[in-house]
Amino acid sequence: MSTLAIRPVTMADADAIAAIYAHYVIHGVATFEEEAPDAAEMAARIAAVLPVYPWLVAERGGRIVGYAYGRPYHTRAAYRWTCETAIYLADDQRRTGAGRPLYEALLDELADRGFVSAIAAITVPNPQSTRFHERLDFTEVGMMEGVGFKHGAWRNVGYYQLALGPRSVPPPKLPTP
- In this structure, are residues 15 and 39 in contact, taking their beta carbons and an 8 Å threshold? yes
Structural contact between residues 130 and 158, judged by C-beta atoms closer than 8 angstroms: yes
Q: Give the structural domain span for 49.
A: 4-163
pLDDT of residue 50: 93
Q: Are strands 117-124 and 139-150 parallel, antiparallel or unpaired?
A: unpaired
- Residue 163 confidence (pLDDT): 98
Determine, yes or no, domain membership for 100.
Answer: yes
Confidence band for 1, pLDDT divided at 50, 70 and 90: low
The total domain count for the chain is: 1
145: CATH: 3.40.630.30
Q: Is residue 175 part of a domain?
A: no
The predicted structure's pLDDT at residue 177: 62
Q: Is residue 39 part of a domain?
A: yes
User: How confident is the model over 113-171, as pLDDT tens digits?
Assistant: 999 999 999 999 999 999 999 999 999 999 999 999 999 999 999 999 999 999 999 89
**Which secondary structure element, helix H or strand E, spans residue 63, and what is its range?**
strand 63-72
**Tens-digit pLDDT profile for residues 58-114:** 999 999 999 999 999 999 999 999 999 999 999 887 877 899 999 999 999 999 999
